[in-house]
Amino acid sequence: MSRLPGTALRQSRGLWTSVNTARPAFRNTLLSSTRHASSSSPQHAQSFLTSRASLAAFSCLTVGSIAWYTQLYGTLPFIGEVSANSPAEDGLHPVAYPWSHKGWFDSFDHASIRRGYQVYREVCAACHSLDRIAWRNLVGVSHTVDEVKAMAEEIEYEDGPDAEGQMFQRPGKLSDYMPPPYPNEEAARAGNAGALPPDLSLIIKARHGGADYVFSLLTGYFDPPAGVQIREGMNYNPYFPGGAISMARVLFDGVVEYADGTPATTSQMAKDVVTFLNWAAEPEHDERKQIGIKAVIIFSSLFALSIYLKRHKWTTIKSRKIIYNPPN
């Protein structure tokens, strides 16, 4: 294609629109423009709408998008189905918020992680565990090693057995994991009217909408609208699938007091704790994005190099000229 003069392409495309009336002219253009590119097939000059490659490409695109849609939503597109659900039962879709770590090159805001840990410790940790985060994980992320050691030592952990076979209590170390609020699931359910507060280690990854959803949930408590019945002990939250959630609203303005002087409004605390939980779910986040930048740089230059090399190797083939001298 690249060997054709640009005018030939423009002519053939212009002619294609009036192909019924000007077919002979079209064929002439075809022949004259492909004469010096004997190895390329005459289909090159055809409109890209009629080539086999575009037929195959559009078929692949169609099949691929249907497969993708089906994988994502679980149903085939444009085929109706009967459902007893109302939109309210799927929960309100969260708004896409401009998180400080949202962009391709953006790291976590570590001051926000530090405030978010404070919110988790003072508010969320009363009911929610954070099993997969150890004290040592906070070092160099949101706290200094001395601060984390001091925080860990305030908690008593059971260890053992000692030389007599007895279990004993000892202050926490950096290698200990975050203490759970309840000893087991049954105790957690018994303390929360049968509802199990989920572990928060991976909650941002484990919910549709991720950080946006958790933020919307934390700030989305309203009075139930007319006609919506909420059972005793439940709370109305339109972002929660079904609308009735066992967790009550916990974030009110001024519930915690930030050491760095940030005003502790409801949305500020929700933003900080969601940033903290996002870090807990993706502690590799900052490093991953840096490696991604390097990978894109290296692979795109390798790709450009391979294109150059291909064109270099094909130059002779593309520009050769085969002349047929018919025998007299």
Partner 1 sequence: MGLADAFYNSIVRRNSIYVSSIFAGAFAFGVGLDLGVSSFWDRWNRGRQWKDIRAKYSEAASE
Which residues are at the interface with partner 1 (CB under 8 A)? Answer: 100, 105-111, 114, 140-144, 146-147, 260, 286, 289-290, 293-294, 297-298
For residue 100, the minimal CB distance to partner 1 (Å) is 7
Six-digit token string for 220 = 């989305």
Closer residue to partner 1, CB minimum distance, 39 or 290: 290
Give me the least distance between CB of 212 and partner 1, in Å please.
20
Residue 125 amino acid letter: A
User: Nearer Cβ to partner 1, position 141 or 273?
Assistant: 141
Partners of residue 182 on adjacent β-strands: none
- Count of C-beta atoms within a 10 Å radius of residue 63: 10
Residue 208 or 288: which CB sits closer to partner 1?
288
Token representation of residue 47? 């409109």
Residue 113 or residue 218: which is nearer to partner 1 going by CB? 113
CB 322 → partner 1: shortest distance, Å? 32
- The answer to whether 93 touches 209, Cβ cutoff 8 Å, is yes
Q: What is the smallest separation between the CB atom of 286 and partner 1, expressed in angstroms?
A: 7
60 in a known ligand binding site? no
CB of residue 148 to partner 1, shortest distance in Å: 11
Nearer to partner 1, 216 or 268 (CB): 268
Residue whose structure tokens are 């006609």: 227
Pairing of strands 235-236, 168-171: unpaired
Q: What is the DSSP string of 136-160?
A: HHHBTTTB-HHHHHHHHHTSEEEE-
In which residue are the tokens 């094909």 written?
314
- Distance of alpha carbon 26 from the chain centroid: 50
The residue written with tokens 């906070």 in the block is 138
Annotated binding-site residues for heme c read 124, 127-128, 247
Annotated binding-site residues read 124, 127-128, 247
